Chains A and B, each alone.
Chain A
Amino acid sequence: MSNQTHDSVEPSYLVAKKGLLSWLITVDHKRIGLMYLVATLFFFMVAGLLAILLRTELFTPGQDFMSAQTYNQVFTLHGAIMVFLFIIPSVPAAMGNFLLPLMLGARDVAFPKLNLLSFYIYCIAAVMLVLTLVMGSLDTGWTFYTPYSSTTGTAVIMATLGVFIAGFSSILTGLNFVVTVHKMRAPGVTWNRMPLMIWAIYATALIQVLATPILAITLMLLCIERVLSIGIFDPALGGDPVLFQHFFWFYSHPAVYIMVLPGFGIVSELITVHSRKHIFGYRAIALSSVAIAVISFLVWGHHMFVSGQSELAGVVFSFITFAVAVPTAIKVLSWVATLYGGSIRYTTPMWYAMIFLWTFTVGGLTGLYLSTLSTDVHLHDTYFVVAHFHYVMVGGTVIAFLGGLFHWFPKMFGRMYNERAGAISALLVFIGFNVTFGTQFFLGHQGMPRRYYAYLPEYEYLHQISTVGSWVLAAGLFLVLFTLLAGLKFGKHAPANPWGGVSLEWHTATPPIEHNFHHIPHVESGPYDFPEIDWDSAKH
C-alpha cells in the first residue's frame, strides 16, 4: 500500500522516553491509547466481577448472600461502570487512539494535548464513580430513572457528576478524531481508501460530539432538581418523570452505537486481513456506518413503548427502528460474503471475528422482537431485553474488542502470544457467553423481569444454567488476560507485519517509533488490496 520500507534504528515509542513521568505527561497518541487500554481493562474486570456476584446470587430463587440493597447497588455499578468506564471508551479511546493516526499515516492526532486532557478527565470521572461506593453507593440502575433517582438517598449527585464528566472526555476525544480524520490523512488516503475501522471511528466520533451534550444537560437538570428542589422530572415538585426518559434515551440510544460501531470497524479489518480478501461492499459498509449514526438519533422512543408516551409516537419510533435494521443487515451479509473465495487463516483474532458473526447476528435478529410494538409490550424490561443487549454489547462490541486486541497486540507491544491459548480462550468465551445469555431469552419470554434479586421458583432451572455459563465466560476472559500477560513477558518478538496487513499501521516498525513514520507515507492503493488477490481472474 505504501512505498515505505525504512529499517528502523530509532527506539520504539515504548522505550523512547523512560520513567513513569514520561508516561503521565506524554502526548503520544499510542501511549495515551495504552493508558486508556489499561484503565478500561481494569474497569472491565471490576464490572465483570460484579456481574459474577449478581449471577451467583441468582443461582437460587431466594435471597442468598446479598441483601436487596446490596444487589441493587451491585447491578447499578455493574451497568454504570461497564457502560461509562469500559464500553464507551474502550474501542474509540483505547484502540482508536492507538490506531487512528497510524492507519491514516499521520504522526499524531490533531490535538495531542487535548487528547491527554481527555484521558485525565476520564480518570477524574472514574474516581468519582468509584467514590460513590464510599459515599453510600448508588442504587438507581445505570439509567437513573426519575423520580426514583430524585428521591433515593444514595449518592446520586456524585455519580451523575461522574458520568457528566466522563461525557466531556468522550466529547473531546470525538472532536479530536473528527478533526484528525478530516485534516491529517496522508497523501493518497482518500475517503474511499480509508480503512473501514477509520470510517467506524469517524461515525462514532460524530455521535459522541452530537449526542453526549444531551446527556450532560439531562444529568445537570437532575442535579439541579435534587439540589435546588426545582420541579423538572419529579411529579411531587410539578415535574414530568417521563420527560427524563426522553432526554436520557435521546443520548443513550445513539450511545449504543458509540459502543457498537467501532466493533463493526474492527471486524471489517479482522475478516479481510485473515482471509486475504478484499472487503465485500466497501462503500455499503462505510456508508451504512454513517446511515446508522444518523438514524440512531431518531429511535430513542423504542425504549418507551410501555412508558405512556402517545401511541402515535410508539408507531413512528417502531418504524424508524426497523429502518436501522437494514444497514445493520447489510453489514453482516457483506462480512459473510467477504469470506467467499478467501484463504482463511484461523488465528485467534479470526476466531473472535467468526464468533462475532454468530453473536452479533443473534443480537440483531432478537432486536426485531423488541422493535415490534406488540411483542415488545410482553418482553420489555424482562430478561429478553437483558439477553438482547448483552448479545449486542458483549457479543458485538466486547468480542470484536477482544479480537482487535489479539490482532493489534503485536503492533502495540512487539510481542506475540500463545496461539493455542488464544484459541482456547475464544472457545471458552463462545460457550460461556451463549450459555449465559442464550438461556436468558427463554427466561424473558417466560416473563422473568429484570433487576430482581429473588424470583419465582419456576425460573430457577434457567437461572442456574445461566449462572454456570457466566462462570465459564469468566474463565475464558481470565484466560485472555493470562495469555496476553504471558505474551507480554515471554512472547516471541513480533515481526513488523505478522498478519500481512496492508493498511498503514503495518507499514512501520513493530512496535512503532515515537513519531510513527520516518517519512509520511504516500498511498496509491486501497487498504484491502492484498497480494494474494488474483486480480487477473476477474478479467476472464
Chain B
Amino acid sequence: MIATFIPPDKLGTPPMSESPWALLPTASNHAAALDTLYVFITILCVISMILIIGAQLYFMVKYRKRSDNDRTNPITHNTKLEIGWSVIPSLFLIVIFVWGEVQFMDMSSPPANAIDVRITGQKWQWTVAYPQFPGGPSLSCPGNAADCEPTEKTPTLYVPLNEPVRLTMNSVDVIHSFYIPAFRVKKDVVPGRYSNLWFTAIEEGEFPVFCTEYCGDEHSSMLAKVIVLPKSEWAATVKKATELKLEEGETMAHYGERLYGINGCAACHTLDGETKVGPSFKGLYGRTEQLSDGSSLAADDNYIRESILEPNAKVVAGYSPQMPSFQGKLKDEQITALIEFIKAQK
C-alpha cells in the first residue's frame, strides 16, 4: 500500500566513508565509544598476530631441515610457560569483556527523556511513525513529491541532533533487524513483541538503514534512511513529512484507503463483511441502517460524515458506542476521501 522496496543502488545516501578500508563516521554517542574498543581490540589482535606468526616464521626458517642427521630438541612441555600463556591472555580477555559489557549495558538503557519513535518492519518495508506527530508514515522528499517516483519512496527516520531517541520496534510478519551502521546500533525486530534501541545522533547527515535479519526475497532491498537535523528544524520537518495529502494523480478512493490504514479504522472495521468492534464497511454505502434508538436511515454521505465526526450521535443497533471522534483530526478533503473509499467497498 505504501512504497514498495527500494533497490540498494537507488537509496541515494552519500557514501559513509571516503575509503572502503576506513572506519565509518561516528554519528552517534555509541559509535564513538564502540570505535575506541574496536581499535583497542584491533591493536591487541595485531600484536598477538605479530608475536604468534612472527615466532612461527622465525622457527620455520631457523629450524628447517638441514641434513638427514638432524637431531631435534627433546622438550615436551614447560609448565611455567604454559601457565604464563594461559594467564596473561586471560587478563586481557577480562578487560575486553568488562569494557564491552559496560558499553552494552549503556546501549540497553535509554534515558528517560528520550524522544519516542515507532518502527514497524514488514516484508520488505520499514514504516516510521512519530507518536507526537500522528499522521502518515514519513517518506523521503516531503513536499516535493514530484521529484521522486511513487514506488521509490524511501522510509525516512528524522532525528534531532544531540537529543536521545528511543525506537520501539515490532514486526508484522517475520523477524527483521534494524541496523544503522553509522550509529553502530542494531536490534532484531520480532513479530509478537516490542524491541527497543536508543541513540543520540551527534553528526548531521543522511545515513543508510539496513535490514540485517534474512527475511525473504527482497531482504537486500529492505532499506531506509536516517536523516539527522538540527533540533530547530526537526519538528517542522517531521510535521511536513507526516502530513497526509492527496498525491498528484491519486484517486480519492485510494487516498481514502491510505487514511483508513493510517488512522486505525482497520482495527475496528473490516472490508470483508466480518464484524470486529464496529460494522464492516463492505456494502455499507446506501444500506438501510437500524439504529439503537429504533429508527432507521439510509447510509449516505452525510450519515458517514456524521459517523466519523460525531460517532455517538447515531449508534448502529447491536454495537456499543466505542468509536472515537475524529473531529479536528481529519480535514474535509480527507473525510471526503474516506467516504469515497467506503463507497467503493461494494
Given A343-B63, A456-B9, A325-B93 contact (CB < 8 Å): yes
Chain A interface mostly? helix
State the Cβ distance, A435 to closest chain B Cβ, in Å.
14
Chain B positions 24-49 with a Cβ under 8 Å from a chain A Cβ: 24, 30, 33-34, 37-38, 41, 44-45, 48-49
* B251: interface (CB < 8 Å): no
* B76: interface (CB < 8 Å): yes
> In this complex, what residue of A is CB-closest to B42?
A369
* B257: interface (CB < 8 Å): no
Pair A454/B9 contact, Cβ less than 8 Å: yes
Given A372-B97, A381-B212, A454-B220 contact (CB < 8 Å): yes
Chain B residues with CB below 8 A from A322, complex form: 93-94, 96-97
Given A344-B60, A373-B101, A329-B85 contact (CB < 8 Å): yes
* B181: interface (CB < 8 Å): yes
Pair B191/A147 contact, Cβ less than 8 Å: yes
Chain B residues with CB below 8 A from A342, complex form: 59, 63, 72-73
User: Which stretch of A17-25, A220-228, A445-453 is in the interface?
Assistant: A445-453
Q: How far is the CA of A510 from the CA of B8 in the complex (A)?
A: 58
Pair A61/B56 contact, Cβ less than 8 Å: no
Taking a contact as CB atoms closer than 8 A, the residue among B33, B71, B75, B77 that contacts A283 in the complex is B77
Pair A145/B75 contact, Cβ less than 8 Å: no
Given A342-B72, A537-B71, A147-B174 contact (CB < 8 Å): yes
State the Cβ distance, B13 to closest chain A Cβ, in Å.
7
- A344-356 vs B, CB cutoff 8 Å, 1 = contact: the mask equals 1110000000100
* B15: interface (CB < 8 Å): yes
Pair A456/B60 contact, Cβ less than 8 Å: no
Q: How far is the CA of A375 from the CA of B24 in the complex (A)?
A: 13
Given A241-B192, A339-B60, A454-B220, A530-B65 contact (CB < 8 Å): no
* B74: interface (CB < 8 Å): yes
Given A236-B191, A318-B97, A456-B11, A145-B213 contact (CB < 8 Å): yes
* B125: interface (CB < 8 Å): no
Pair B186/A380 contact, Cβ less than 8 Å: yes
Taking a contact as CB atoms closer than 8 A, the residue among A275, A311, A369 that contacts B41 in the complex is A369
Q: How far is the CA of A496 from the CA of B8 in the complex (A)?
A: 59
Central interface residue in B64, B103, B214, by most chain A CB within 10 Å: B214
Central interface residue in B74, B82, B86, B221, by most chain A CB within 10 Å: B74
Chain B positions 71-107 with a Cβ under 8 Å from a chain A Cβ: 71-78, 81-82, 85-86, 89-90, 93-94, 96-97, 99-101, 103-105, 107
Pair A372/B56 contact, Cβ less than 8 Å: no
Pair A372/B212 contact, Cβ less than 8 Å: no
Chain A residues with CB below 8 A from B85, complex form: 329-330, 333
Q: How far is the CA of A445 from the CA of B42 in the complex (A)?
A: 12
User: Which stretch of A174-182, A203-211, A358-366, A517-525 is in the interface?
Assistant: A358-366
Chain B residues with CB below 8 A from A442, complex form: 20-21
Number of interface residues of A (CB under 8 A): 100
Chain A residues with CB below 8 A from B107, complex form: 374, 377
Pair B188/A148 contact, Cβ less than 8 Å: no
Chain B interface mostly? mixed
Pair B103/A145 contact, Cβ less than 8 Å: no
Taking a contact as CB atoms closer than 8 A, the residue among B55, B93, B216 that contacts A148 in the complex is B216
- A438-466 vs B, CB cutoff 8 Å, 1 = contact: the mask equals 00001101110111111111110110000
Interface size class of B (residues with CB under 8 A): 35 or more
Pair A454/B41 contact, Cβ less than 8 Å: no
* B17: interface (CB < 8 Å): yes
Q: How far is the CA of A63 from the CA of B215 in the complex (A)?
A: 18
Chain B positions 173-223 with a Cβ under 8 Å from a chain A Cβ: 173-175, 177, 179, 181-182, 184-188, 190-193, 195, 208, 210-221
Taking a contact as CB atoms closer than 8 A, the residue among B65, B210, B217 that contacts A69 in the complex is B217
Chain B residues with CB below 8 A from A532, complex form: 70-72
Q: How far is the CA of A240 from the CA of B193 in the complex (A)?
A: 9
State the Cβ distance, B224 to closest chain A Cβ, in Å.
13
Taking a contact as CB atoms closer than 8 A, the residue among A148, A456, A537 that contacts B214 in the complex is A148
Given A278-B74, A318-B97, A455-B220, A358-B53 contact (CB < 8 Å): yes
Q: How far is the CA of A412 from the CA of B343 in the complex (A)?
A: 80
List 22 contacting pairs A-B, 8 Å CB cutoff, sorted by A. Answer: A61-B8, A62-B9, A72-B214, A148-B174, A278-B75, A311-B104, A318-B100, A329-B86, A329-B89, A341-B72, A344-B63, A357-B53, A368-B41, A374-B99, A377-B184, A378-B185, A381-B212, A446-B181, A450-B212, A453-B220, A462-B20, A532-B70
* Residues of B that sit less than 8 Å from A by CB: 7-9, 11, 13, 15-17, 20-21, 23-24, 30, 33-34, 37-38, 41, 44-45, 48-49, 52-53, 55-56, 59-60, 63-66, 70-78, 81-82, 85-86, 89-90, 93-94, 96-97, 99-101, 103-105, 107-108, 173-175, 177, 179, 181-182, 184-188, 190-193, 195, 208, 210-221
* Those 9 A-B pairs whose CB atoms lie nearest each other, nearest first: A341-B73, A447-B181, A235-B192, A372-B100, A343-B70, A373-B104, A374-B103, A339-B59, A452-B220
